[in-house]
């Protein structure tokens, strides 16, 4: 049987360990729900697990189990509760017990891949070589080399280079502490072997726990084949134990994403001051100034400029768009040549057609603004459809909410709205209409008409101002 066929026959069961309290995080939130680059560690691990197309996925939970289930609920995930956290070996034993009837312990094809909920930057490209390398072995262990191995289990090898044990930091001798090849925690084993080894684990160690890592000794005693694979990039397999490690990982990961963006043709004024918490699809010759946060899916055309201190979440910006400083864009689509800000706020459902302008202190929600239209100052536009080439004066407000329901405002092409106008929805303004400044528009305005809806001005000659009464 060829190697490839072997991998194809493999029936993979993923087990993710996430029952621990994560005491060192000093948090009421379970450790695995803390985010890295905007997404919880466990959600990231689950994403990777799903990409492997396994037969089953089990997540072992204990501390704050309900909160974790609620935050990461997915159709194909089975939850296994480990009531008491007796160690990583015990956690896997709980999952293996739960695999009864799902997995077949009598064939070498059913494999258990153990992942940790606190190793968030894992990827399929890290796991695939381990799965392939270990296909002829009973056990495959993923290691890596780090400058500072403090706290990790060390990979102990004999003179021939074979792994003979994994020694936890607290149980290690002085010589063993010098080893900088560490256990990532990630391993793959045959279900049948694992089911036989786990009941043999004993808590003979400094922490009084059932260590999963002790299966190395059991496999050796049975002369079973063991494979190790060393991941060259430690960041991708680093486990998070405290908030400093979390912060360092966040920075390291952000810098890598910034590098990827820069190398794909975007100028970053300072790569350490752009944060990507999602996915950025970017054309050529874009420029991102300092302190910009990109969240969700952000799609940029070419020659886009994002000035400093902007937050963009789930937005699409066409070619030549300029987002000026201190703007907040969420769920908005901007066509080519649009300019917004400074201090603009675009909320979900905002569509700005080509070359339109949204200026300072303008909020737009669930509205379509036509090509070339301008809303330049201090306005609120909500639930509105506006045609092309309109000019909306400063301080214009669509009164879209009557206290119970939202209503639409429809504005045609080439409409001029004078400053400080209120458009009380539902209301329609026809093409080419003009609205006098300070109007409160409660009735539709026909095309081409002038509407003025304000008190008439009265001038009195010789007006005497009131005088203060003598004390």
Q: Rule CB under 6 A: say whether 143 interacts with ligand UD1.
A: no
| Contact yes or no for 408/399 (Cβ under 8 A) | no
Which residue, 61, 60, 105, is CA-closest to 197? 105
Kindly tell me which of 18 and 276 has the beta carbon lying closer to Mg ion: 18
Which of residues 137, 183, 286, 367 is near ligand UD1 by CB under 6 A? 183
Q: Residue 381: helix, strand or coil by DSSP?
A: strand
Q: What angle do CA 378, 321, 314 make, to 5 degrees?
A: 80
Bridge partners for 79 per DSSP: 59
Active-site entry in 204, 328, 377, 443: 377
Shortest CB 171 distance to Mg ion, Å: 15
Q: Is 13 a catalytic residue?
A: no
Which of residues 85, 145, 376, 408 is near ligand UD1 by CB under 6 A? 85
- Residue 98 has φ and ψ, to the nearest 5°, of -70, -15
- 3-state DSSP: the chain helix, strand, coil percent, rounded to 5? 25, 35, 45
Shortest CB 344 distance to ligand UD1, Å: 42
Q: Rule CB under 5 A: say whether 192 interacts with Mg ion.
A: no
Distance CA 397, CA 419 (A): 10
Which of residues 10, 18, 268, 378 is near ligand UD1 by CB under 6 A? 18
**E strand or H helix at 93:** helix 88-98
Looking at beta carbons, which residue is closest to ligand UD1? Answer: 153
Residues in contact with ligand UD1, total (CB under 6 A)? 28
Shortest CB 59 distance to Mg ion, Å: 16
Distance CA 139, CA 436 (A): 79
Q: Rule CB under 6 A: say whether 211 interacts with ligand UD1.
A: yes
> What radius of gyration do the chain's Cα atoms show?
31
| Contact yes or no for 337/321 (Cβ under 8 A) | yes
Kindly tell me which of 241 and 420 has the beta carbon lying closer to ligand UD1: 241
Kindly tell me which of 132 and 245 has the beta carbon lying closer to ligand UD1: 245
Distance CA 277, CA 462 (A): 66
| Structure-token pair, residue 237 | 């397999």
Q: Rule CB under 6 A: say whether 90 interacts with ligand UD1.
A: yes
Which of residues 10, 59, 80, 91 is near ligand UD1 by CB under 6 A? 91
Distance CA 39, CA 414 (A): 44
Q: Rule CB under 5 A: say whether 153 interacts with Mg ion.
A: no
* 5 Cβ contact partners less than 8 Å away, ≥ 6 residues apart: none
Shortest CB 90 distance to ligand UD1, Å: 5
Shortest CB 11 distance to ligand UD1, Å: 23
Kindly tell me which of 21 and 454 has the beta carbon lying closer to Mg ion: 21
Which of residues 89, 239, 372, 382 is near Mg ion by CB under 5 A? 239
Distance CA 20, CA 14 (A): 18
Looking at beta carbons, which residue is closest to Mg ion? Answer: 239
Q: Rule CB under 6 A: say whether 182 interacts with ligand UD1.
A: yes
Q: Residue 256: helix, strand or coil by DSSP?
A: helix
Q: Rule CB under 6 A: say whether 118 interacts with ligand UD1.
A: yes
| Structure-token pair, residue 327 | 């703007």
Shortest CB 7 distance to ligand UD1, Å: 26
Judged by beta carbon distances under 5 to 8 A according to partner kind, the member of Mg ion, ligand UD1, none in contact with residue 30 is none
Distance CA 436, CA 420 (A): 9
Q: Which residues are catalytic?
A: 377
Binding positions for ligand UD1, rule: CB under 6 A = 17-20, 60, 82, 85-88, 90-91, 116-118, 152-153, 166, 168, 182-185, 211-213, 239, 241
């Amino acid at each position: 049987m060829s190697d490839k066929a072997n991998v194809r026959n493999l029936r993979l069961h993923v087990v993710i360990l996430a029952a621990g309290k994560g005491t060192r995080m000093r948090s009421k939130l379970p450790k695995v729900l803390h985010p890295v680059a905007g997404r919880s560690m466990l959600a990231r691990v689950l994403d990777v697990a799903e990409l492997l197309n396994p037969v089953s996925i089990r997540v072992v939970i204990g501390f704050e189990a309900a909160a974790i289930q609620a935050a990461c609920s997915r159709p194909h995930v089975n939850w296994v509760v480990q009531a008491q956290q007796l160690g990583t070996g015990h956690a896997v034993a709980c999952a293996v017990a739960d695999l009864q009837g799902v997995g077949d312990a009598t064939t070498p094809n059913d494999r258990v891949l153990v992942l940790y909920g606190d190793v968030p930057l894992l990827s399929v490209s890290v796991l695939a070589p381990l799965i392939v390398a270990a296909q002829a072995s009973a056990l495959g262990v993923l290691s890596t080399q780090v400058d500072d191995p403090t706290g990790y289990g060390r990979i102990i090898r004999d003179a021939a280079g074979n792994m003979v044990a994994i020694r936890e930091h607290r149980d290690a001798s002085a010589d063993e502490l010098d080893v900088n090849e560490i256990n990532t925690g990630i391993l793959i084993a045959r279900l049948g072997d694992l089911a036989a080894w786990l009941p043999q684990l004993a808590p003979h160690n400094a922490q009084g726990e059932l260590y999963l890592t002790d299966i190395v000794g059991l496999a050796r005693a049975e002369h079973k084949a063991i494979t190790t694979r060393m991941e060259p990039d430690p960041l991708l397999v680093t486990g998070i134990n405290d908030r400093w490690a979390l912060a360092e990982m966040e920075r390291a990961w952000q810098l890598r994403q910034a590098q990827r963006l820069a190398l794909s043709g975007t100028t970053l004024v300072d790569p350490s001051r752009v944060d990507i918490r999602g996915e950025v699809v970017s054309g050529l010759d874009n420029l991102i100034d300092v302190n910009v946060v990109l969240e969700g899916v952000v799609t940029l055309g070419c020659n886009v400029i994002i000035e400093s201190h902007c937050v963009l979440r789930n937005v699409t910006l066409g070619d030549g768009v300029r987002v000026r400083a201190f703007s907040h864009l969420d769920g908005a689509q901007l066509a080519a040549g649009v300019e917004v800000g400074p201090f603009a706020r675009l909320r979900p459902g905002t569509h700005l057609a080509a070359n339109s302008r949204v200026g300072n202190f303008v909020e737009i929600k669930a509205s379509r603004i036509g090509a070339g239209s301008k809303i330049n100052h201090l306005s609120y536009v909500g639930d509105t459809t506006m045609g092309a080439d309109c000019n909306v004066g400063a301080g214009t407000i669509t009164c879209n909410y009557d206290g119970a329901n939202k209503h639409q405002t429809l504005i045609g092409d080439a409409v001029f709205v004078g400053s400080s106008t209120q458009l009380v929805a539902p209301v329609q303004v026809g093409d080419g209409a003009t609205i006098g400044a300070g109007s409160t528009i409660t009735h539709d305005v026909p095309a081409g008409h002038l509407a003025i809806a304000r008190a008439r001005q009265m001038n009195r000659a010789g007006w005497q101002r009131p005088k203060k009464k003598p004390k």
